[in-house]
Amino acid sequence: MRPLGFSLIELVIVLAILGLAYALVPPMFSGARSTAELKSATRQLAAGLRQARNYAVSRHGESVLTLDVETRNFTVSGDTRTYHLPRQLQLKLVTAQQEVTNDKLASIRFYADGSSNGGRITLDSGERKFEVDVNWLTGRVAILD
């Protein structure tokens, strides 16, 4: 008559397989997490630019989005909040020379008619890159993959 249950060797093999799966599966999903953070940060930055444009048009004046590349923070005129972007992102801002305060701080300016001084902000996570483009004539904000 055969005893019921599992032998010790069978249990050890199953535990070894589970341990191996536990060690290998999470790194497979870490890339998806960083891509999701990159997309979220890109959308947040584009929303900030649109907010600055809307503020300029509705107030019939100028509005500015100021980006600090070193601390990965940005502010929008008319909004007291400071928005934070993930630390692991590489940021690059191209804008008009008069809007560059120093090598770490620069702005994109919007005018009352909806136009802008234009610019492009590149967000790079190493695996993937997005660009947020601001058209100087229309002030339109677009996310480029």
Segment 87-117, tens digit of pLDDT:
888 999 999 999 998 988 999 999 999 999 9
pLDDT digits (tens, 9 = 90+) for 45-68: 999 999 999 999 999 999 999 999
Q: Assign residue 42 the CATH number of its domain.
A: 3.55.40.10
CB 75 within 8 A of CB 83: yes
Q: Which residue has the higher pLDDT, 118 or 145?
A: 118
Q: Which of 104, 91, 133 is nearest to 116 (CA)?
A: 133
Collapsed DSSP state (helix, strand, coil) of residue 82? strand
Domain that includes residue 46, residue range: 36-144
Asked, for residue 26, whether it belongs to a domain, the answer is no
Where does the pLDDT of residue 24 fall: very low under 50, low under 70, confident under 90, or very high at 90 and above? confident
Which helix (H) or strand (E) segment holds residue 68: the answer is: strand 63-68
Asked, for residue 12, whether it belongs to a domain, the answer is no
Asked, for residue 40, whether it belongs to a domain, the answer is yes
The total number of structural domains that make up the chain: 1
Asked, for residue 4, whether it belongs to a domain, the answer is no
Q: What is the mean pLDDT of the chain?
A: 90
